[in-house]
Structure 1
Amino acid sequence: MIRISIDAMGGDHGPAVIIPALVAVATRRNDVRFVVFGREDVVRPELNKHPRLAEITEFHHCDVAVGMDDKPSQALRHGRGKSSMWQAIDAVKNGSADACISAGNTGALMAMSKFCLRTMATIDRPAIAAIWPTTRGESVVLDVGATIGADAHQLVDFAILGSAMARALFGMERPTVGLLNVGVEEIKGQEEVKDAGRLLRDAGQLAMDYKGFVEGNDIGKGTVDVVVTEGFAGNIALKTAEGTARQIAEYLRAAMSRTLMARIGYLFAKGAFQRLREKMDVRRVNGGVFLGLNGIIVKSHGGADSEAFAAAIELGYDMVRNRLLDRIEADLDLFHARRPQSTARPAEPADDSNE
């Protein structure tokens, strides 16, 4: 059985959306069980509407819920050990769950996850990986907001994390990997990106195929299976793509309703427009995976509906089923075993920011 812990108080809609999502996943997956954390007065009534779900769900009452506007430091100070978000993460740490899903405050979720689970031994900073719809299918893009700024070694770590996720999710043996840059020429870009490119070219027998630099327009083309960048650029790219998708949808909606002939034409092309809408719907691939931690954490969109939250649960389910953490650990061990001593990462002071 795959056990998924759920922060039922996260997101804009809470249990009213989250519990129906659990029902949808349980209908499709007969080997899943849930551990749900939240306030009993709001979660229990929703659970009671679905007796079959209640049979496969372990519920834990929590007095505290992390607010969507809480600062990470506030969330840690007031919610550590007792909030629904913390306890859902802690369930992964203590082994009572295999993955945690939350639609709550992203900064708080990352801060609590880092504090509770810690990063893997050779990882300096975690990354948030997003699944990106492309003209060729889907790609993994990271980091999309966890680490602002990254040195060459951290970018290499992100490449290893992202390629392991692509192998686990898409069934690839050697995903293609590219570093996001302002041009494909080797002389362009920041020194950190160029240094990361040299490290990846010299990495040897990693389970990836490094293709060099890619530009912003290559993300949507699906030029590579994994696009690697630091969190500032990655988050801007993600939000720009989401905004552009909504903008195009509004343009199409306005154009299709402008004249009688346009409305008639829409009726004939309704199926094609529905397929386009599904392809552009960010909810279809809802969920960002926190990579580099000693546990699987999936962040759902705060405004997700039940279908979108179910997609985030399914993503966590697939990461567990396909042994994501084992793949990452094996790839990290291989890279650090083969890395020449001259390229070893310089010692850094201990990070006590979470203490």
Structure 2
Amino acid sequence: MVATRARIAVDAMGGDHAPAEIVAGAIRAKAELDVDILLVGDPDQIRAATPNEENLSDLKIVPAEGTIEMHEEPLSALRRKRKASINVSMDLVKQQEADAVVSAGHSGAAMAAALLRLGRLKGIDRPAIGAVFPTVLADKSVLILDVGANVDCRPKFLEQFAVMGTVYSKHVLGIEHPKVGLLNIGEEASKGNDVAVQVHQLLTDHPAVPFVGNAEGRDVLSGQFDVVVCDGFVGNVLLKFAEAVGESVLQILREELPRGLRGKAGTLILKDNLKRIKQRVDHAEHGGGLLLGVAGIAVISHGSSQAPSVFNAIRLAKEAVDNQVLDRIQAQYHKVAMPAADGE
């Protein structure tokens, strides 16, 4: 089968720095990645945000009207603003005019729009945003889900997150024997609130989840786990704290290393090392999280995303398309979540 170029619909109006930074990231992606970009939003604002309009010549602009503001309730706003950029972006995937959506806008609205327009995978009650974090071990990452889609979770939702995380880690990230942990305040099975205790038992009993126990906060980036499951409230706090730690480390390095002649010389010597440090801890290098559980590929990027993060979010979407993430998760989730139906 001949590979086709991934078509990525980019919500140009979503995010703190839209549309300028979103468009800049999309322009870079078009230049460096083998993708077709559909910029969704107000054409006049998109063009006004681009210093050199010639850069837009290879990008298609799809008109939309308005965006979902952060203070708005997602469902009512989506119904009221049917031509909002996130709605139009999801419709492009539904109509098979795009293969994936990237948005740095209202994450709740992005999830709701995906559910309303794309639907959910069979057997999934709630989708989850899966974000890949670096760990202290070189070339090893950890998938954390949910990091913001579901503030309140029932035990069965977290069980489903664990199944999807297992499938994603094994078949997309290439981890043959992933280790799944439940984020908790202690290692013991009896620790945590009622939901955590129930989920611990569900994962212990689940034949398709390689559950190795609770993961405390200090364990998340240790490299001991390949998948860590939590609700979206805790996961989003964890995500933003980790981002802040990364930014703080980079800021400290920028301030301390160049001090004095020795510092300046050391900075030059360590230039390549510092670049690798930045790549490991800077959240912009990761782009965003894949919304797992919906019947379409959607990447939800950080609300504060600037051009580098948007570029990497588009790269993540392209990789998801190229690696047939949706088909793999659908097939594998059916196998592991409903073994009786398969005669296993």
Output the TM-score relative to the length of structure 1.
0.84
Amino acid at match of 1:162: G
In the other structure, the counterpart of 1:70 is 72
Paired residue for 1:86?
A: 87
Identity %: 35
- 1:24 is matched with which residue? 28
In 2, Cα distance between the equivalents of 1:36 and 1:255? 41
Q: Deviations over 1:159-202 (max 9, x none)?
A: 11222222344223342211112122223223333332333333
**Paired residue for 2:166?**
163
Q: Please state if 1:283 is matched with 2:284.
A: yes
Distance in 2 separating the partners of 1:153 and 1:196: 7
Structure 1 residues 127, 51: CA separation in 2 closer, same or farther (over 3 Å shift)?
closer
Query: 1:221 deviation in Å?
Result: 0.9
Contact kept in structure 1, 2:163 and 2:337, CA below 8 Å: no
Q: 1:309 Cα shift?
A: 0.5
Counterpart amino acid of residue 50 in structure 1:
N
Deviations 1:90-136 (Å, cap 9, x if unpaired)?
A: 11122221111111122222222222223223212121111101122
Mapped partners of 1:298, 1:326: distance in 2? 16
Q: CA RMSD in A?
A: 2.5
C-alpha displacement at 1:311, in angstroms? Answer: 0.4
Match of 1:50 in 2: 55
Q: 1:329 to 1:303 in 2, by over 3 A?
A: same
What residue in structure 1 maps to residue 193 of structure 2?
Answer: 190
Distance (whole Å) between structure 1 residues aligned to residue 80 and residue 244 of structure 2: 34
Match of 2:38?
35
Give the drift of 1:20.
Answer: 3.2
Query: What is the distance in 2 between the residues matched to 1:318 and 1:298?
Result: 11
Which 10-residue stretch deviates more, 314-323 or 16-25? 16-25
Aligned residues: 333
CA distance in 1, matches of 2:101, 2:171: 17
- Comparing 176-185 with 248-257, which one deviates more in the overlay? 248-257
Q: Does structure 2 conserve the Cα–Cα contact (< 8 Å) formed by 1:144 and 1:235?
A: yes
TM value normalised by structure 2 = 0.87
SS, match of residue 140 in structure 1 = strand
Matches within 5 A, 1:223-238: 223-238=224-239
Question: Please, which runs of 5 or more residues in structure 2 have no aligned partner?
Answer: none
Instruction: Write the distance in 1 (CA, Å) between the matches of 2:27 and 2:16.
Output: 19
1:199 lines up with 2:193 in the alignment: no
**1:106 corresponds to which residue?**
107
More off after superposition, 68-77 vs 5-14: 68-77
- Looking at structure 2, the residues matched to 49 and 334 of structure 1 have their Cα atoms a distance apart, in angstroms, of 49
Could you tell me which amino acid in structure 2 is paired with residue 117 of structure 1? L
CA drift at 1:307: 1.9
SS of corresponding position for 2:37? strand
- Contiguous gaps of at least 5 residues in structure 1: 341-355
Letter in 2 for 1:62: A
Q: Separation in 2 of the partners of 1:338 and 1:5?
A: 36
Runs of 4+ in 1 over 6 A off after TM superposition: none
| Paired residues for 1:228-267 under 5 Å | 228-256=229-257, 261-267=262-268
Distance of 1:73 and 1:199 partners within structure 2: 31
Q: 1:191 to 1:315 in 2, by over 3 A?
A: same
Cα distance change on mapping 1:336 and 1:253 into 2, 3 Å = closer
Q: Distance in 1 between matches of 2:247 and 2:24?
A: 26
Structure 1 segment 301-340 matched on structure 2, within 5 A: 301-338=302-339
Between stretches 240-249 and 44-53, larger displacement belongs to: 44-53
Q: CA deviation at 1:43?
A: 2.5
Is contact 2:8-2:98 (8 Å) kept?
yes
The answer to whether the aligner puts 1:138 opposite 2:141 as a matched pair is yes
Secondary structure, counterpart of 2:58 in structure 1: helix
Give the 3 Å change call, closer, same or farther, for CA 172–66 of structure 1 in structure 2. same
Match of residue 117 from structure 2? 116
Q: Select which of 3, 6, 12 maps to 1:8.
A: 12
Q: In 2 relative to 1, CA 331–196 (structure 1 residues): closer, same or farther, beyond 3 Å?
A: farther
